[in-house]
Amino acid sequence: MDKKKLVRITTVPISLEKLLEGQLSFMSNHFDVTAISSEDKRLNLYGDKEGVETHYLELTRKITPLKDLIAVFKLVKYLRKEKPQIVHSHTPKAGIVGMLSAYIARVPIRLHTVAGLPLMEAGGVKRKVLNIVEKLTYTCATKVYPNSQGLKDFIVEEKLTLTEKIKIIGNGSSNGIDTTYFDPTRYSVNDTSVLKESLNISSEDFIFIFVGRLVGDKGINELVKAFVSISHSYDTVSLLLVGPLETELDPLDSITLKHINEHPKIIATGYQTDVRPYFAASNALVFPSYREGFPNVVLQAAAMELPCVVSNINGCNEIIENGTNGLIVPVKQHLPLEKAMKEMFNDQKLFAVLKKNTRTRIVQNYDRKEIWNEILKEYESLIDATN
């Protein structure tokens, strides 16, 4: 019996790599899978690694109506030719292009996962435009999957789509995490010592780590400001920033950039394909993001037994329970963030309690294979319903 065709679409291949790692390879056991994204060379490398077909489509992360219409035209043509049973999109731009194209091409099952909403931080005309785009995406979709309860609540409150279209898969998250891969026992004391030495971090330092894009809406301005203040009082703390510096869409303040470049206790590593060694060498994650869907970074850090300081936003406040496996602080405020970081550093008893409760909660609720099986069940249920 021939496998039914499944198309998965993201705006850029890094979303396939990081947000859906391993998932498309798993799905290829059950479907004829094609991954669609931009950046053809990187997309092809992803396809080779996952063992799935790929199809290049020029997509941008900015608001580019003409280019987007061209992308829709090309994608409709492709979908009419291939006739997939399911098109499943992720990320906002891939969502509108993918769902509109699938609707026009009469793909029977059109699914969109919401893993974050830029409109939550937008205002004025931009907010209105993004609202319209999001509503159109959901209108064209047959099902909408927010990957956290907070996102679901927001979508319902804003009346972006019909409530009956919305569903959270499992306990949340788009992909879960591989808890055998993100396991601190894989790294020895010697491994972490060697890494610290290579980064010029003292073996005595308490290391706060951030993993992700270095942009404004990840809370990097507040994080750097809080850390610089802390470093004036304590000389045995370091801040490790692991991720790419993006200067186009949401650049950091000039003073933040100056501190990142010049502060002796702030180490920026750039993008890393494997973040586990950096987690293993650190003591606590700080993730003061303004908005998230269901942040993989927090899942990964907790699985690596790192207590987490996170902002009080959806996703973060579903993974972290304040005082149990981390601390929750108000969004966009550096003083509460500084206080929580000091508390994590100074209160050894609290730190021990938080650390003890990190990994177990992740293994029990967010193991990757459980999420994959839940998504597979959803696909099969929708296919049965359309037959």
The CATH code that applies to domain 5-176+367-386 is 3.40.50.2000
Alpha helical stretches, state H, the chain? 13-19, 23-27, 40-50, 65-82, 92-104, 124-140, 149-157, 189-198, 220-233, 254-262, 276-281, 296-303, 316-319, 334-346, 348-356, 358-365, 368-386
Q: Do domains 5-176+367-386 and 184-365 have the same CATH topology?
A: yes
Containing 24, the helix (H) or strand (E) segment is helix 23-27
Cα(305)–Cα(324) distance, rounded to whole angstroms?
13
What pLDDT does 1 receive? 59
As given in the structure block, the two tokens for residue 2 are 């021939």
Question: DSSP letters along 318-346, please?
Answer: HH--BTTTEEEE-TT-HHHHHHHHHHHHH
Report the alpha-carbon distance of residue 99 to residue 87 in Å, rounded: 8
Residue among 244, 188, 247, 253 nearest 221 (CA): 253
Torsion of CA 42, 43, 45, 51, to 10 degrees: 170
Residues 6+ apart with CB under 8 A from 140: 99, 100, 102, 103, 110
Report the chain (387 residues): mean pLDDT per 10 consecutive residues. Answer: 91 91 96 96 96 96 88 98 97 95 98 82 78 93 93 91 94 90 96 96 96 96 98 96 88 96 97 95 97 89 98 93 97 98 96 96 91 96 92
Residues in the chain: 387
Instruction: Look up residue 9 and give its two tokens.
Output: 């679409």
Cα 11 from Cα 95, distance rounded (Å): 8
User: Which residue in this structure is represented by tokens 């597979």?
Assistant: 376
The domain 184-365: what is its CATH number?
Answer: 3.40.50.2000
Domain ranges of the chain: 5-176+367-386, 184-365
Residue 166: strand pairing partners: 144
* CB 267, CB 199: distance < 8 Å: yes
Query: What's the order of all strands across the beta sheet hosting 53-56?
Result: 53-56, 32-37, 5-9, 86-90, 109-114, 143-146
Contact 351, 344 (CB under 8 A): yes
- Scored b (16 or more CB within 10 A) or e, 149-168 reads bbbbebbeeeebbeeebbeb
329 has which bridge partners?
Answer: 311
Query: Residue 158: helix, strand or coil by DSSP?
Result: coil
**Tokens 């290049």 belong to residue:** 56
CA distance 347 to 134: 44
Side chain identity, residue 194: V
